[in-house]
Structures are given as C-alpha cells and as structure tokens.
Chain A
Amino acid sequence: MTQHASPPRDNTDKVPPVGQPPSWRGLFARADVRTLSLLGVLAALILIGGITKPDEFLDTRNLQLVLTQASVIGVVTVGMTFVITSGGIDLSVGAIVALASVWATTVATQDYGFAGVLFTAVIVGVGCGLVNGLLIAYGGMVPFIATLAMLASARGLALQITDGKTQIVTIGSILDLGERDAYVLGVPPLVIVFAVVTIIGWLILNRTTFGRRTVAVGGNAEAARLAGIDVRRQRLYLYLLSGLCCGIAAFLLIILSGSGQNTNGNLYELDAIAAAIIGGTLLSGGRGTITGSVLGVLIFTTITNIFALNNLQSDVQQIAKGAIIVAAVLVQRRTASST
C-alpha cells in the first residue's frame, strides 16, 4: 500500500476526520459558495444565449436538447467524480463507453433484443471497471497507468469487434426511447436516467458510509487504513462504479445515436475530468461534489449549444472553451477564498 501514500496536498485542513461523520455544516457552507458561483456562470451563459438567440435558445425544445446532450457525458462524470474524490483517476472512460457500445450492438448481441443490448453494455462497463479496480487496488498499479492501459486495450478491442464499421441498431424498442413520443411529461428518457444517476450518486457520496470512506481514502489513504477502512476494497468498488456508469452511458449513447461505433466516447475522459474539476472536486482527492460536477457538465453543454446556435465555427469554439474553463476556475477560487 506504500505506493498509495497520500500525495502532497495543499488543503489537509479540509479533510474530514476519519471514523466520525464529517462536519456537515462546514461542508455545506463551502459547497454553497462554490455551487453558487457555478450557478452564476450558468446564469451568465443563459443570459448570453437569451440575448444573442432569444427565439432559438429560450425554447423548450432547446432545453430538452441541451439536457439530452448532457446526459451521456453527465453519467460518466458522476462515476469519474467518485474516482477523483478518492484520489484516483480513470482515463479509460471514453474507451469503455466505446467498447461497451460496440459490444452491445453487434449483430449477435442484437439478436437478444432490448435486454441483451442493455445487459451487455452494463456488463462490459462493469467488467472493464473490475479489471481497472483489481489492477489498481490489488495489483498495486498507479491509477494513471492502469487506466491508460485500459484506454488503449479497450479502444483496440472495440476496433477489432467493429472492424471499423458502423453498427446500426435495428431494435425498435431501443430506437423509440430516443424519439419525442417517448418523452415523459416533456422529459426525454435519457434525461430521466441522468437525473436518477445524479441523485443516487449524490446520496451515496453525501449520505452513506461508502461516500465517507471514499472521501477519507482520497484525503489520506494511510490514515483511512489505520482507521480500519479496507482501502483496497474501497478502491476496487470505486473503479467498478466508474465502469458501471460507463456501461449505462454507453446504453444511452446507443439510444441517442442509434448505432455503435468504435470512435464513440472520443475524449470523454478529458470532458469528464474537466467538468468534475470545474465543479469543485479536487484532483488530488479528499473532496468531491456531484452537484458541482453536474453543473460543470451543464456549463460545457450550454456553451456548445450557444456557439452552435450562433453559427460559430469549431476553432472559435475551442478557443473560447479553454478561456471559459480558466475563467470559471479563477472565479471559483476568488469566491471560495474570500469567505
């Protein structure tokens, strides 16, 4: 376990004491300021969108569109938040989404219908997470390296399965879930799944022993071990959880795009990490916020949406995206340190 000795950190004071409930009031106060500043950024974006394109942006269909586009990466980000909170990193999420989505859409899998596709997507996700977890928790590999290896292999396997071809989904019941007819009271099914995953994620991180253990392991793994937490098993579960989220996201992507392709999930790892960090989860571990991560995802998706509605090209989009990441983090620092 020595290889996991706690990394150098600048905020040891923020680690909740292990073995007893963290001070809820303190956590809330801090989270509130961060969340508020994120909401401020989001509000500013909505203002910009509303001014530049009032008819197209401030529209129910556009809200449905933004939330739908946020669902897939959103579910991945929830899993990623847990892993980062524990002081780890999962670089393989995009590759796992790709592998799960192509494995679940082969001709052979589609023979099993809706349940077969769903089962395969989830099991492949969990399976990859299991391998990651075993390598990291019991194989003693650094998360960066283990998940980098998984990234390479899962992408390779996905390419091998598809042979570079686009696999079209022909199962009506899956395709129907992406249509307007399937909306429940105006809410797309994908968004419902995203919301459910978010709520469960929030509950697990903030209201369960599992969540507290995750924070403890990320804060100081050695202290957590001395306090009687099975750090290795905890790590294993966290990568399993991330894999599970990838499996669910892959199924959502299958519904959304009506196909499986080995190029799916391109650079999801960076998007998910960026959203989590913007949200206020510490890259060095010990602090995580699901609310922040989801707001981070929504900020990114809204930016993309506003740019597309204003017909800005991808070069401008990329430049502005980078600038907004820096601005958002700086604003957050300011507000957080001024309290």
Chain B
Amino acid sequence: MSHTTSRRGLLFGTAAVSATALLAGCTSNDSKDEKPAANDQSAADDKPGKHVTIGFAGPQADHGWLNAINDNAKSRAKKYSDVTLEITEGSNDTAAQIGQIETLINKKVDVLVVLPADGKALTQVGLKAMRAGIPVVNLDRIFNSPQAYRCWIGGDNYGMGLNAGTYIGEKLKGKSNAKVVELAGLDNLELTKQRTQGFDDALKNYPNIKKVARQAAEFTVESGQAKMAQLLQAQPKFDALWNHDDDQGVGALRAIEQAGRDDFLMVGGAGALSAFQAIKQDNGVLKATVLYPPTMAASAIDLARALGQSKGIGGLAEFEIPASLTLYSAVVDKDNVDQYMPTGFR
C-alpha cells in the first residue's frame, strides 16, 4: 500500500506539522500570579543548626491536593539553609514506592518523610528504615504499626465532617425541619466513611436538621457535576449542602449554576484556592470550606529537621517532638478567608 509521496500527503503532512506546532504552544499553563506559599510560621526555631538531609517519598501528584503537598514540602525545605531535600518521583505503585524508599535508606539520608500511596502496604519499609536508624515522619496515610514511624502528622477526616456538620448546624439553628444534603467523595475509601460519620455525628446535636440525601462522587470535577445535578433534581428544596472535596466542588458548583439554584448554603472541603476565592466574593452558595490542610507537608519538613537536629517543638515544654500530631480541620468562611488564602491549592 506504499504510495510515493503524493501532493496530498505532503499537504496533510505540512498541515499536521503546523497544527502540532500551534498545539505545542497551547500546553503552557503559566499565568502571571503564581505560587501559593505556605504560611511562614515554623515549628522548630529558624536558627541554622546541624545540616540535615531529608528524604521525601510521596504518591503521584495526580490531583491538586497532592500537588500542593509536594509544593509545600519543597518550598519549606528551600527556606532552610541547613536542609537538603532528596525528593523521589511520586508513584502510586506500592512496589515502586518501596523501592524508592529503600534507595533513600541506602543513601543514608538523616530523616525520612513518607506519604505512602497505601499506608498499610508500606509498613514494612517504614520498619526497615527505623531499624536502620533513620527516623520516619509518616505523613497523613498512617502505617499499620507505630514502630514504623517516629512521628505521625496528618489530617482529621472525622473532624472535617464534624466541623462541617457543626457549622451547618449553627447556621440553621432555629429553622424547623431543616434539610441537609451530602455530596461525598469516593466511597471506596475509608476516609470518606470517616468524613460522613463525623458529619452525621455533628448533625445529631441538632434535632431540627435531617439529612435527606447522600450521593458519592469520585473527587473529580466531572463526577461532581454529574452527581450534584442528580441530587438537585432529587431534592427540589433543601437548606444546606456539604461537599467533601473542593476539586469535585468545581463540578458541583457548575451543576448548581446550571440548575439555577441558590436557595441553600454550601460548605466545601479540603481548601482549594478556587473555593477560597468564591467564599471571599460571597456571591454564590459556597459560604465556607473545611480544611484538610496540605501545609502538613511543610510541617512534616519542620518536624524532620527538628528530629535531625534533636530539637523539640518551639512553644512546647518537651525536649522532643510528639509521636503523633492530628491537625485541626478549621472552618474557613468569609471572616477568616484572607488568612488562609495563601495556603489554597489549585
């Protein structure tokens, strides 16, 4: 079927090449206002001390929050003249991540910061690092055994639900027969169950409120739009909505706009920049969001540095850093949004 180069072929070829050239120019995502920076308070003191090499291993940053985790870790490490960060290529494959951590162990880094793709599956390699004398800071997704880490720092999924429910409860106080709707995240994950549990427990304190519907999206914009559109059709009237995740919230807000609904208040989750901006503008249904702060990665670097320099946390009486730190899921609304704006992720 081989033709000699025909004029038509040449024409198509040229068109294809120029289209490719034009498209290549279209992959740029640079805009003028970049770099969300973590806030600048640090756990340990800022004075340069003994030099510390920190190994960092995380999952593949395939969505905004994980991306912010990497950014927070990197920018925090850059701030310290006495810290070198050895960062590995993120991977969702357990075997690959184990290999990366073993490489970091062999390189004899001083401290390890690990955000496992799967906490349970990476327990063994955490143990191995600890036995090799390298303290491990376990970030967010917890190992199976406390022996596998020196310090755990992470978010509070139950607390997210609890605080979202309490915020909504207070807003709807005094309103009889108030109806609440929940747009959950991926139902396969334990964290989604915890968030829902916290939310339900909070609502129990407000007998005037009833949760009338719950649908689970998949943390993606597309699924958020689809599930929210269905929820809006199913519930012609309700007073408040809690959406577990601001990424899928972009889609949920789109569905709300498309349905032309504005007769309820919405609370988000996680703390995306777009959510903060919408809360600040205050011209839509989104009134607040509950944090699951990616700044925990910056704090993990602080803790790792403190571990490497055998320091405690400034402001606490102990000489050592704690074994476990559960972060507070603060509610960000119009009153305090400016303070949190720099921590918002895209």
Contact = CB atoms under 8 A, between A and B. Distances in A.
Contact of B66 (A108, A164, A304): A164
Among B30, B224, B250, B254, which residue has the most Cβ atoms of chain A within 10 A?
B254
A230 interface: yes
Contact of B64 (A120, A127, A164): A164
Interface string A120-155: 100110010010000000100000000000000000
B89 interface: no
Interface residues of B, number: 52
Contacts, number: 152
Nearest to A259: B221
B221 A308 contact: no
A263 B61 CA distance: 12
A161 B250 contact: no
B29 A233 contact: no
A11 interface: no
Interface stretch (B228-236, B282-290, B311-319): B228-236
A335 interface: no
A309 to B, nearest CB: 4
A264 B236 contact: no
A9 interface: no
Nearest to A68: B229
Nearest to B60: A159
Interface stretch (A78-86, A165-173, A201-209, A322-330): A165-173
A232 B3 CA distance: 13
B218 interface: yes
Contacts of B16: 127, 130
B23 A120 contact: yes
A53 interface: yes
Interface string A174-185: 000011100000
Contacts of A62: 233
What band does the interface of chain A fall in when counting residues whose beta carbon is under 8 Å from B? 35 or more
B72 interface: no
Contacts of A266: 218, 220, 222-223
B11 interface: no
A164 B65 CA distance: 8
Contact of B250 (A56, A112, A232, A257): A257
B263 interface: no
A168 B246 CA distance: 13
A120 B26 CA distance: 8
Interface string B214-227: 11101111111111
Contacts of A168: 250, 274
A309 B219 CA distance: 20
Contact of A166 (B25, B260, B274): B274
B254 A256 contact: yes
B26 A106 contact: yes
A65 B230 contact: yes
Nearest to B254: A258
B186 to A, nearest CB: 9
B346 interface: yes
B4 interface: no
B1 interface: yes
A304 B63 CA distance: 26
B190 interface: no
Contacts of B213: 311
Contact of A167 (B29, B30, B67, B226): B29
B28 A106 contact: yes
B234 A308 contact: yes
Among A69, A120, A230, A308, which residue has the most Cβ atoms of chain B within 10 A?
A308
B41 interface: no
Contact of B227 (A124, A167, A262, A308): A308
A62 B236 CA distance: 11
Contacts of A127: 16, 19-20, 23
Nearest to A253: B222
Given A257-B225, A263-B220, A308 B215 contact: yes
A313 B61 contact: no
Contacts of A112: 26
Among A162, A166, A168, which residue has the most Cβ atoms of chain B within 10 A?
A166
Given A68-B229, A164-B67, A166-B64, 8 more contacts: A107-B28, A108-B25, A109-B26, A165-B346, A166-B346, A233-B1, A256-B225, A259-B221
22 contacts: A56-B236, A61-B259, A104-B26, A106-B27, A108-B26, A108-B28, A123-B19, A161-B27, A165-B29, A165-B67, A166-B247, A178-B254, A233-B1, A253-B222, A257-B251, A261-B221, A263-B222, A304-B230, A308-B227, A311-B212, A313-B215, A313-B216
